[in-house]
Structures are given as structure tokens and as C-alpha cells.
Amino acid sequence: MCGITACIGTDESVDSLLDGLRRLEYRGYDSAGIAVKNQAGISLTKRVGEVSELVGAVERDPIDGTFGIGHTRWATHGGVTDNNAHPHTDESGRIAVVHNGIITNYQSLRSELESNGHKFESETDTEVVPHLIEENLRDGATPEEAFRAAVGRLNGTYALASIIGDEEAIFATRSGSPLVLGVGEGEYFLASDVPAFIQHTDQVVYLHDGDFIIARPSGYEVTDSGGRPVDRPLKYIEWDPETATKGGYEHFMYKEINEQPGSLRRTIHGRLNALSGGVELEEFPPGTFSDVEQVHIVGMGTSHHAGMFAASLLSERGIPAYAFMSGEYAVIKPPVTENTLVIAVTQSGETADTLDAIRRARAAGARTLALTNVVGSSITRECDDELLIRAGPEIGVAATKTFSSQVTALMLLTERFVEDITGNKSGVARDVMDSLARLPGDVQEVLDTSNAREIAEEYQDSDSYFFIGRGLAHPVALEGALKFKEISYEHAEGFAASELKHGPLALVTPMTPVFAIFTGFEDEATLSNMKEVQARGAPVVAITSDPDGEIAEFADHVLTIPETHPDVAGITANIQLQLVAYHAAKLLDRPIDKPRNLAKCVTVE
């Protein structure tokens, strides 16, 4: 893995491929390369490092072609070297392939091919594919037959794109890894994600697992593994190309933090009745969830924290709910029945662990629901139902606006569950809904008044950073720590405030600032924990809506949030913590949008 791009029918294929790779940089990678077809054959350039290294190599030694494929790699098999970078070719150099995913039987295939005289240049699993195609061509197969037969030998997950011999076509397929087709006027694009080609076209075809596609200058065709045509609808993307650019901001992450008032308005729009305070989900009319007896929420990283938030909300409202890391769901094997609803929370809709968890839940008879940001993603096809968070494209690896939109969408779902399952339409729910309606404005207030930069400057030389909270503030503390560590590379940990005296307090020193989150729930107990760490010399930054009260009196610094319902306060508190993480990373001159070793979309387990 991590990013595929391809184009055919364009006037400037090299420029289009390089631009597509630039727009996929947010996915995380360690090397990049392109291969283009011209009269002399296939011209190939690939380099370790950033796409800029590849661009420089192409500028020094220009290549051209009428169509081609490109790739940003995140190493899974073999070290980070030019030889291991994609695209990979056969021995003749007439076949080039790019691949996302993992081919689990590559070693046996490689041994078989080597026994037949094939010589390999890399340590990757991907290189078996062009050699398999070459072998099939030698046996008299057409390029399409050779590609299909090679894919038929593969086990594992993959999105593949290939150029073969003199055929003026791009051959591609997917199984467990995303691939989308962009349809322009006489030009066609393939990519792992829409931003790679959004500046060229807003018309897309989402491919399903098992789909094969052949794109030519004259058009494209989608078939199944047996060669039978399949109908995949053409859809329109509502993103303006500007949304996939920085728009004057220094980093995508900072832009996306500042986009949250707008993304939250989209999440809420049409789903809240301002007069009644009730929830109106077009996707789920009243009574949809009346037979649900328990809820499991699966997700990884930020999505897991959003799931923890929702599970706590549901439990408070009398509905049994549990949050699981998707990657542990198969290990824990929680009991499910036909009255269990399993909610998959995933920004991309392609997270491998979460897809696996959903498949296991469905196999056990559970009902499933996808909560995602991406129309047509794999998770929407795997689940019985879907609810889009409508956050818009998120390019920065560190999730920001998608977390706040995930939590908000889950709060709306929670209210629908409560109405359907318990029949309870309490005044408390009305207060929550009113606070949600004010949320975009409250977030804008935080963005306009935050002193997060000053806090980051004050504590930039600390040894570690701790984040604490109770109830719904606990997942917010975990998310605050995650944001801090993933973009600043500094050690940060989140804890339930009640956990401090059971171990973590041993780590507290004057060089470990503690961020304490106060939401109006059990604030007195959290204040007691704050005093505990201060007694050990640790400075405390309080996140609170009362900058003049007792909490602020005892805190060393305060990050203020608007007064709101305790169930909603965690969202605005999280915005302050996102800003602290961003400014801390900027002070340290970290690559904020592309933190090392991380990828935006994790499509392998």
C-alpha cells in the first residue's frame, strides 16, 4: 500500500500522474513511482522519499507517455528502497503493475515462478503479479486473459492497476482495498481515493470487490471475475476541487480544524427539528430500531474514541452498549444475536480491521450499520444500513473534523435509539438537541478565542503530556493524547481521571503537564484529581466553561469552552485539544499532515 493513481486519454499523462500522487500524499508513504507507455515501451521512474524526490528525478531525466500508472508505497514487504518502490515490472519491462494490499501467498508463487526461470528484483509481494502476467502471455493468453488469470492466483487483499505490452489500456481490479474510477471527457482515471483526480472530473464509479475494469481512450467496461458485465452507477462528487487543497492554510490539519463549524452544520442539517427538539433521520424513520436489544460499536483509533463516546451515551440512557477496537473484536468474540446492532465507525469506509469485524458480526447474525464519511465505500456495501457524517474530504492524516462529526452523528443516532427502544422523549434529550443545534457556533467561538498556541509554547519542553477526564470526557482525553502524540512525536497518554491513583500517578512530575477536561459531569471529582497531580508538582491546564470559578482558580492555565450541555461539552473541549496538538507540533517543526509511519486509510490488518 498506500496510494494508486492511473490515467488514460489525457494530454499530459506524466503531469497527471505526478499531480495525482501529490494529492494522495496524505495517505502516508515512504516511496513513489510512475510508469508510462510510449512508442519505445514502458518508461519507469521511482524514488525513495517524498513525491518531490520523484518529481525531481523526472525533471532531471524526462519521460513521456500516452497513459500510465503511479503509486505511493507504505512498506509492508521489504525495506524502503528504490527497488522495492512501485511500479514493478516483468523481466522484459513490457508489463508494469501497482498494488495496494497484501498478497498472502506470494512466497509460494514466487518460488514457483523462480523455478520457471523468472528473476526478481525486489523483496515485495507485488512483483509476483507482473511475472504471473508474463507467464500467461507466454502461454498464448491475451492481455486481458493474462491479467485475469494472474489475479485468479492471488490470495489476500489487493487493488491492482497494470499496463500490459502494446495494449492501449489500463487493466485494474480490487478485492479488499479501495479503487475508484474517475470519468472525464474522453479521459479516465483510477485512484485509491477521489482527491487524486477531483481537479479533472467530479464523475466517479465506485468499484466493488471482485470487479475488473478495462479503461481505454474510447471508454471503459466493468465486469466480474468471469468476464460478465456488471452495472456500476456513475455518481457525482459534490466536493469543489478547492476542498482538496490547503486554501491558504499552512497545513491541511489546521484548515480542517477550522472547517469544523461548516462540517458540523452539514452533519446536523435536516436531522434536527428545531421546533420539537426531536431527531429526523430520513435514513431511519421512527421505529427502525425498536427490536434492538444491545449495541456494539467497532472502530479503530479516533473512530474507536468516537465509539466509546457513543457507548457511554447509550448506557447512560438505559441501552446496553459496548465499544470495541475493531482489531480485537474477533479475539474477544462478544456474544451477538439477531437483536444486536453492530455499528462500524470508519472515516474512510475502507479500514481493514473494521470491515473484518463487520463481516464476523453479520456471519453471527447481527444487524449492521455503517457510520462513515465516504459515499460508496466498502463499509456501506457490507452493512445493512448506513449514515453518512457529511464532513467533506479530510486530507490530513490526523482526524479532526471527522471525529467531531462522528460524535455528533452518533449523538443523533443515540436519540433515535432511545425513542425507538425505550419510548423515552425526556426533557434532558431536548436540552441535548438544543445544545447540538448551537454546536457549530460554539465551535466557531472556540476557534476565534482559543489561547492554545500560548499553552503549547508554555509547555513545549515537557517530558510527557497527560490528559484526564471522567465519563464522556474520558474518550476525549484519549483522543487528545492521540492527536498530540501522532503529530508532535512527543509522549502523551490519556487516562480516566479516576485511574490516576491506581498507577499513572507514579509518572507525574513537574515536567508532565496534565490537561484536565471538565464538562459539567462529576467536575468535583475531577477537580480532586487535578489537585492530586498538582500536589506532585505537575502543572494543570483545565478545559472548562467556567473561566472564573473554582476550577480556574486552582488551574495553572485555562482553555475555555462555551457553556453547553455536559453531553456536548466534550466536542468543544476536543477542539481546544486539537489546537494544542497542532501548535505543539508546529513549534517542533513536525511534518504535521504526514506524520511518520502513519497512513490515512489502513487497508491491511
3-class DSSP assignment, residue 579: helix
CB distance 98 to 87 below 8 Å: yes
DSSP character for 497? Answer: G
Residue 514, phi then psi, degrees to nearest 5:
-115, 125
Show which residues are catalytic.
2, 600
DSSP strand E in 436-489: where?
465-469
Distance of CA 224 to the CA centre of its chain: 28
Q: Return the DSSP state at 502.
A: G
Task: Give the span between the Cα atoms of 498 and 479, in whole angstroms.
Answer: 17
Tell me the C-alpha distance between 518 and 505, whole Å: 19
What are the grid coordinates assigned to 145, written together?
Answer: 486473459
Vertex 305: Cα angle to 293 and 597 (nearest 5) = 135
- What is the distance between the alpha carbons of residues 525 and 536, in angstroms, rounded to a whole number? 17
**Which letter, b or e, does each residue of 320-349 get, where b requires 16 or more Cβ atoms within 10 Å of its Cβ?**
ebbbbbbbebeeeebebeeebbbbbbbbbb
> Would you call the peptide bond into 87 cis, given omega within 30 degrees of 0 as the criterion?
yes
Sign (positive or negative) of CA dihedral 554, 557, 562, 566: negative
Q: How many CA atoms lie within 13 A of 158 on its CB side?
A: 28
Give CA torsion, residues 380, 381, 383, 384, to 10 deg: 110
Task: Give the integer Cα–Cα distance in Å for 515 and 556.
Answer: 10
